[in-house]
A = this chain, B = another copy of it.
Amino acid sequence: MTLALDPTAQDLLFREAHTAYTFSDEPVSDEQIRAVYELVKYAPTAFNQSPLRITLFRSPEARSRLVKHMSEGNKPKTSTAPLTAVLSVDLEFHERLPELLPHAPSVKDTFFSEAEARESAGTFNATLQAGYFIVGVRAAGLAAGPMSGFDRHGVDKEFFGDGRQKSLLVVNIGRPGEEAYKPRLPRLTYEDAVTTV
């Protein structure tokens, strides 16, 4: 046993988890997403900057406005998933740093007074958090369908019109439906991906 995590959890989060392409009708509750957030919020970001924001699309009206911006291949599943989340970065995340990093509140101004520095660090750290969130959805026993195929500028203009947030990833969430999974694709070998120096 090289891993401390038990095999059932390994399967749930990684080995038997697949991106879902169809979903059942079973709803996803706010309590489930709250439980996911309350778990993954602990995973690390630089200076604890915690720049990820999550927008849950529940109302049919909001959902149809979102679907318009999805690529053609992503429209049907985004229309029918029990819940769809837009993951975004808050480009003004630094405003919360005095609370999030109480022992070093000056980091807010020392490192993040420039919009360019915030966009770079915020996007990187919110993307790490997007990875944690996908693992967290699986920890809830739910299937995730992350999608990069959408019109970022369209989504940002329609839902984040003040420019404060930028969308990163759209994630369908639910129980897998019929023929939800495609066969597992190959992965790079350890030797391909890892080098020792």
B14 touches A42 (CB 8 A): yes
Complexed CA–CA distance, A144 and B43 (Å): 11
* Partner of A62 from B4, B6, B38, B197 at Cβ < 8 Å: B197
Complexed CA–CA distance, A140 and B159 (Å): 40
A140 touches B2 (CB 8 A): yes
State whether the Cβ of A115 lies closer than 8 Å to any Cβ in chain B: no
Given A33-B194, A42-B15, A134-B128, CB of A139 within 8 Å of CB of B5: yes
State whether the Cβ of A110 lies closer than 8 Å to any Cβ in chain B: no
Complexed CA–CA distance, A188 and B197 (Å): 39
A188 touches B100 (CB 8 A): yes
Say how far A16's CB is from chain B's closest CB, in angstroms: 9
State whether the Cβ of A24 lies closer than 8 Å to any Cβ in chain B: no
B194 touches A131 (CB 8 A): no
Say how far A161's CB is from chain B's closest CB, in angstroms: 13
B54 touches A194 (CB 8 A): yes
Binary interface encoding of chain A residues 166-197 relative to chain B, with 1 for a CB under 8 A from any of its CBs, else 0: 00100000000000000011111010111111
Given A129-B131, A134-B128, CB of A56 within 8 Å of CB of B195: yes
A–B pairs, 10, beta carbons within 8 Å = A9-B9, A15-B39, A37-B190, A43-B134, A44-B146, A53-B194, A53-B195, A56-B197, A96-B192, A131-B135
